Amino acid sequence: MSEIRGIAILGSTGSVGRNTLDVVRHLGAGYKVVALAAGRNAALLLEQIREFRPTLASLEDAEAGQELRHEAARLGTRLVTGSGSAIQVATCQGAQLVMSAIVGAAGLRPTYAAVAAGRRVALANKEVLVVGGAAINAAARRSGAELLPVDSEHNALHQCLRAGRRSEVRRLLLTASGGPFWEREAATFAAITVEEALAHPVWDMGPKISIDSATMMNKGLEVIEARWLFDMDPDHISVLVHPGSVVHSLVEYVDGSLVAQMGSADMRHPIQYALTWPDRCPGQSRPLDLTDLPPLCFYPPDPARFPCLGLAYQALKIGPLAPAILNGANEAAVAEFLAGRMGFMDIPRCLTMVLERAATDESVPGTHGEPGVDDCLEADRWGRETALAAHETLSLPRQGETGR
Ligand X SMILES: NC(=O)c1ccc[n+]([C@@H]2O[C@H](COP(=O)([O-])OP(=O)(O)OC[C@H]3O[C@@H](n4cnc5c(N)ncnc54)[C@H](OP(=O)(O)O)[C@@H]3O)[C@@H](O)[C@H]2O)c1
Range in contact with ligand X (rule: CB under 6 A) among 98-106, 111-119, 280-288, 383-391: 98-106
Nearer to ligand X, 210 or 399 (CB): 210
Shortest approach of ligand X to residue 106 CB, angstroms?
4
Report the number of secondary-structure helices (H) and strands (E) in the chain: 15, 11
DSSP tag of 68: H
CB of 242 within 8 A of CB of 293? no
Nearer to ligand X, 41 or 285 (CB): 41
133 binds ligand X (CB under 6 A): no
Shortest approach of ligand X to residue 186 CB, angstroms?
29
Instruction: Identify the residue among 5, 6, 8, 11 touching ligand X (CB under 6 A).
Output: 11
Instruction: Identify the residue among 86, 90, 98, 351 touching ligand X (CB under 6 A).
Output: 86
Shortest approach of ligand X to residue 15 CB, angstroms?
4
Instruction: Identify the residue among 6, 8, 13, 246 touching ligand X (CB under 6 A).
Output: 13
As a whole number of angstroms, the distance between CA 181 and CA 35 comes to 42
Question: How far is CA 123 from each of CA 162, 209, 270, rounded to the nearest angstrom?
Answer: 18, 17, 10
Shortest approach of ligand X to residue 300 CB, angstroms?
24
155 binds ligand X (CB under 6 A): no
As a whole number of angstroms, the distance between CA 129 and CA 109 comes to 12
Instruction: Identify the residue among 22, 30, 41, 338 touching ligand X (CB under 6 A).
Output: 41
Amino acid at 358: A
89 binds ligand X (CB under 6 A): no
User: Alpha helix (H) ranges present in 55-206?
Assistant: 62-74, 86-90, 108-116, 126-143, 152-160, 194-198
102 binds ligand X (CB under 6 A): yes
Q: Looking at residues 263 to 282 of the shown chain, list those that interact with ligand X (rule: CB under 6 A).
A: 267
Question: How far is CA 235 from each of CA 197, 225, 226, 313, 314, rounded to the nearest angstrom?
Answer: 30, 14, 12, 8, 11
Q: Looking at residues 103 to 132 of the shown chain, list those that interact with ligand X (rule: CB under 6 A).
A: 103, 106, 124-127
DSSP tag of 294: P
Nearer to ligand X, 17 or 54 (CB): 17
Shortest approach of ligand X to residue 13 CB, angstroms?
4
DSSP string, 166-204: GGGEEEEEEEE---TTTTS-GGGGGG--HHHHH--SS--
User: Alpha helix (H) ranges present in 244-291?
Assistant: 268-276
324 binds ligand X (CB under 6 A): no
Nearer to ligand X, 99 or 345 (CB): 99
Question: How far is CA 4 from each of CA 54, 94, 274, 321, rounded to the nearest angstrom?
Answer: 14, 10, 15, 39
Give contact residues for ligand X (rule: CB under 6 A).
Answer: 11-17, 37-41, 60, 86, 101-103, 106, 124-127, 151, 267
